Chains A and B, each alone.
Chain A
Amino acid sequence: MTRAVVTVIGVDRPGIVAGVSRVLADHNVNIEDISQTVLRDIFAMVMLVDLSEADVSLKELRRELERVGKELGVEVVVQHEDVYRAMHRV
């Protein structure tokens, strides 16, 4: 199973969550966990997503989310779950 951590950072405004989730839904990527916060005046959202039923690869999903992020004026970063796990889970 391939899971990824999708991180969205930017100035808060309406439509960010909707824009990012739409891409995920369009490609049948399931959101397993979602947290958001405002950190140092910046909106930050983190999602754990599952790509096992997805119709795109992690690489393609990253490209598309980065493109949508640009349109929304936020930065979207997609990392493999393993990177997060390696750094923060012993």
Chain B
Amino acid sequence: MGRLDVEEALEAVEMVRRMNLDVRAVTLGVSLLDCASPDPSELCERVKRKLLDVAGDLVEVVEEVEEELGVPIVHKRIAVTPCCLIVAPAARELGEEAALQLADALDEAAEEVGVDFIGGYTALVYDGFAEGDEVVLDTIPEAIERTERLCASVVVADERYGINMEAIKRTAEAVKETAERTDGHGCARLVALTNAPENTPFMAGAFHGVGQPDACVNVGISGPGVVRAVIEELGDADFRTLHDEIKRTAFKITRVGELVGRRVAERLGVEFGAVDLSLAPTPEEGDSVAEILEGIGLESCGCPGSTAALHLLMDAVKKGGAAATSRHGGYSEAFIPVSEDAGMARAAKRALTLEKLEAMTAVCSVGIDMVVIPGDTPVETIAGIIADEAAIGVATGKPTAVRIIPAPGKEPSDEFEMGGLLGKAPVMDVSDYRPTMFERRGRIPPKFPR
């Protein structure tokens, strides 16, 4: 290494100490395809054995790397093969109970290994329902209620196959029932996905796709605080300068993610998968994507100009991040979850409406995320919100998601506390007019290729 540069060394230190730079998630993807069995208890036994075998050292290794590098790593997680693909033989024996036992087994393994979330209670229904999809989809609310760490997802649409409107309606029903069973909180572990990435480290939508190796490590970076500080320092710089500095910052953040992922994978003896370039906020003050947008020049996130600001941010983050890792994956976008981002939660009391949020998701993935709506919102309205987001995903070819919380007993402008890193948010107003389209059956066809 050449001579030390004091300013550069200070920058690395300041990023971690004062700007909340961290690696948001290290997620170990594990294939469970070899665990399927017609005997439900055999299935659960194999799943647990495999997870303890492959992921047993995950937490220890990640903490070791964290200490060694001096960079905080916030979450350790596991993503598994979508349960719909392995549960069918056992479900033929035991019906829905087989899926619920599998949910318990995953949750128990996650607890034993010491990870905070395990993702993959997933139904892949964008082009129709298979046997395994049916049992997973029908058991999501109960599976979430009886577990603590399990994350569920339903892939409802894909640009190549279209939008499964029946699946969207059933997912909306699952959202509603989950909210009722868990006083809203379980909805943080349930997401409807479009163009779902098969290697994202971020929950609740993480699962381990069938094209992936037996096990691999994916890393999610963070760093809204760092980007915000950079923008603040630039003052009234022109757009190109802003873009350039954000890009450089994204490069540095991503390189740290790449370093962490490489090291963890090497020590676990598994492949290093991808770095998800997403800027992931936390409720902590200053670690907010909304504040970055406001720093670019908005009185409140959600006012006119918000979509343009987000577009500038996203393009710069991607260009900088892509130069820092040869394998970007997952969403690689800015997350704009309402409850998890203190600035977004503040904006939801000011300029930000659900409709403007939807418009903003047209230029960044992830979609309507961690949005709290009134508990009495009808299923059709929730389905309509999911369908709109699916249409944006299909039309733009980007992954999008809906993670929405119809909080029981809550009304617009009430506060809803999710707890911890999930944050809190005001209840957002939804339209009183509801879609009637879900009385129809079937799917919206795939989009015409551009």
Q: Interface of A with B (CB < 8 Å)?
A: 3, 5, 7, 9, 33-37, 39, 44-48, 58-59, 62, 75, 77-89
Contact = CB atoms under 8 A, between A and B. Distances in A.
26 contacts: A33-B4, A35-B3, A35-B4, A35-B5, A36-B6, A39-B10, A44-B10, A46-B4, A46-B9, A48-B4, A58-B67, A58-B68, A59-B67, A62-B67, A77-B13, A77-B16, A77-B70, A79-B12, A82-B259, A83-B12, A83-B69, A83-B70, A83-B256, A86-B256, A86-B259, A88-B252
A44 B12 CA distance: 13
Contacts of B267: none
Contacts of A62: 67, 70
B71 interface: yes
B1 A87 contact: no
B13 A37 contact: no
Q: Which of A47, A75, A84 has the most CB of B within 10 A?
A: A84
A88 B8 CA distance: 7
B252 A87 contact: yes
Contacts of B71: 79, 83
A79 B17 CA distance: 11
A48 B1 CA distance: 10
B439 interface: no
A33 B3 contact: yes
Contacts of B8: 84, 87-88
A32 B68 CA distance: 19
Chain A binding surface SS class: strand
Contact of A80 (B70, B252, B255): B70
A87 B11 CA distance: 9
Nearest to A5: B9
Interface string B1-27: 111111111111100110000000000
B411 interface: no
Interface centre among A33, A34, A82, by most chain B C-beta atoms within 10 angstroms, is A82
B294 interface: no
B259 A83 contact: yes
A7 B252 CA distance: 18
Given A35-B4, A84-B1, 4 more contacts: A39-B7, A80-B70, A82-B69, A86-B252
B258 interface: yes
Contacts of B10: 7, 9, 39, 44, 46
Nearest to B255: A86
Contacts of B68: 58-59, 80
A48 to B, nearest CB: 5
A41 B375 CA distance: 54
B13 A9 contact: yes
B134 to A, nearest CB: 46
A71 B415 CA distance: 44
Contacts of B9: 5, 7, 46, 84
A83 B253 CA distance: 10
Nearest to B263: A82
Contacts of B4: 5, 33-35, 46-48, 84
Given A77-B17, A82-B69, A86-B256, A39 B12 contact: no
Interface centre among A9, A37, A75, A80 (most CB of B within 10 A): A80
Most buried by A among B4, B16, B256, B259: B4
A39 B6 contact: yes
Given A33-B4, A81-B1, A88 B70 contact: no
A35 B9 CA distance: 10
Contacts of B259: 82-83, 86
A45 B4 CA distance: 11
